Amino acid sequence: MEANKIKKIHDFGQSIWLDFIDRHILQTGQLQKLITDDGIRGLTSNPAIFEKAISGSDDYNDDIAALSKEGYTDEDLFFELAIKDIRAAADLLYPIYNDEEIKGADGYVSLEVSPFLALDTAGTIAQAKHLWEKVERDNVMIKIPGTQPGLSAIKQAIAAGININVTLLFGLNRYREVVNVYLEGLEERLAKGEPIEGIASVASFFLSRIDVLIDPLLEEKGLPDLKGKVAIASAKKAYEIYKELFSGPRWDKLAAAGAHPQRLLWASTSSKNPDYPDTKYVDALIGPNTVDTVPMETLDAYRDHGDPADRLESNTEEATEVLDQLEGARISLDALTQQLEDEGIKKFNEPFHKLLASIAAHR
């Protein structure tokens, strides 16, 4: 019998997390089956995923009816529903988190702060602390967007001992800033004599949306050969930055105190362009000490026809050349990734508005 292609990815040091949650997969044993059969080692959620889960089924109706009697706002009611699912998923994944060989590297479930707070530092840190305390699970990560206002909140959350999934990363300069605030948060905690060995974090680098935005510009500039290559080139450069920043005297001091590197997590790994293979981004970026969070349809595709191999550090010269050619064509990757960040905030706000309207209608 042929080895499971998803499980095979683990042989190259990468963890596969599921980018999906709903009550159906929790209650029918489907998530447990994915953990057992495919070796899924974590789970991520976001407002759009919960909007589909809650608006698209009757599974939450009884809870909405019961909670509606308790005077919750629509947003607070949503978080009560979400926390129930997050706890259930965290409990299913806890044996992975608690595995001696993995030692807390995996088994995490991510819950995002309100997308309405993406540009609100004080509101983000307050809600991150509230959700962390409310969920009451060591193997949960609170998702905070890597916006400029989010950077301070990320640092404060790490210093407070909260596991953080930094989401909505597109640009290399912003990624450097994210790693720096992670290190600063650990250093602040260490300076206060508080433990840092139990803290986990990932930096979620979004992929396919980069190519969706840039491919038409490449066509206009007469660079069609670069289409579909910029996101992967950026990710390979991000991994070089990861290796650079998680080495040397500054990191060694933290590592000696038990700190874990903030792993890169590849997000938005489903191919948005039908001309590209549906496993394109998963195949291209398999490599050690990384995570790939994969939606259900991409997971099914990979199980069927994925081609697992260690490719993250191959063809790095080509990655450099791709980004150099962009610069030569006066295409500003920094400006475009900032545009993607701004659009990303809007793309999470819209389903959250829709979700709250759905909850109000259910009530």
CA dihedral sign of residues 34, 35, 36, 39: positive
Between the alpha carbon of residue 1 and those of residues 4, 5, 135, 306, the distances in Å are 9, 12, 41, 16
Q: Is the pLDDT of residue 310 over 70?
A: yes
Please report, as a single letter, which amino acid is at residue 224: P
103-122 residue pLDDT tens? 788 999 999 999 999 999 99
Pairs from 174-177 (Cβ < 8 Å, separation ≥ 24): 174/146, 174/337, 174/341, 175/146, 175/203, 175/205, 175/238, 175/241, 176/241, 176/245, 177/146, 177/151
d(CA 169, CA 285): 16
Q: What percent of the chain has pLDDT over 70?
A: 99
Which neighbouring-strand residues pair with 201?
164
- Geometric angle at alpha carbon 115, from 338 and 286, rounded to 5°: 60
Report the mean per-residue pLDDT for the chain: 96
Query: Are 164 and 141 within 8 A, CB to CB?
Result: yes
pLDDT value of residue 3? 78
pLDDT value of residue 339? 97
Residue 103: active-site member: no
Biggest CA pair distance of the chain:
61
> Residue 30 is part of which domain span?
5-362
Identify the DSSP state of 198. T
CATH code for the domain in which residue 263 is found: 3.20.20.70
Q: Predicted confidence band at 100 (pLDDT cuts at 50, 70, 90)?
A: confident
Query: Are 290 and 243 within 8 A, CB to CB?
Result: no
Q: Which two tokens stand for residue 92?
A: 């299913």
Q: Which two tokens stand for residue 283?
A: 């195949």
d(CA 73, CA 51): 16
57: three-class secondary structure by DSSP: coil
Number of structural domains (the chain) is 1
Mean pLDDT of 241-264: 98
Of the residues 5, 143, 155, 236, which is catalytic? 143
Mean pLDDT of 60-73: 93
Radius of gyration of the chain measured on its C-alpha atoms: 20
Q: Predicted confidence band at 54 (pLDDT cuts at 50, 70, 90)?
A: very high
286-306 residue pLDDT tens? 999 999 999 999 999 999 999
Identify the DSSP state of 268. -
- Geometric angle at alpha carbon 22, from 16 and 23, rounded to 5°: 125
332-346 residue pLDDT tens? 999 999 999 999 999
272: three-class secondary structure by DSSP: coil
344-363 residue pLDDT tens? 999 889 999 999 998 998 88
Q: Is the pLDDT of residue 1 over 60?
A: no
Q: Is the pLDDT of residue 52 over 80?
A: yes
Q: Within 13 Å, how many C-alpha atoms sit on residue 359's CB side?
A: 27
Please report, as a single letter, which amino acid is at residue 223: L
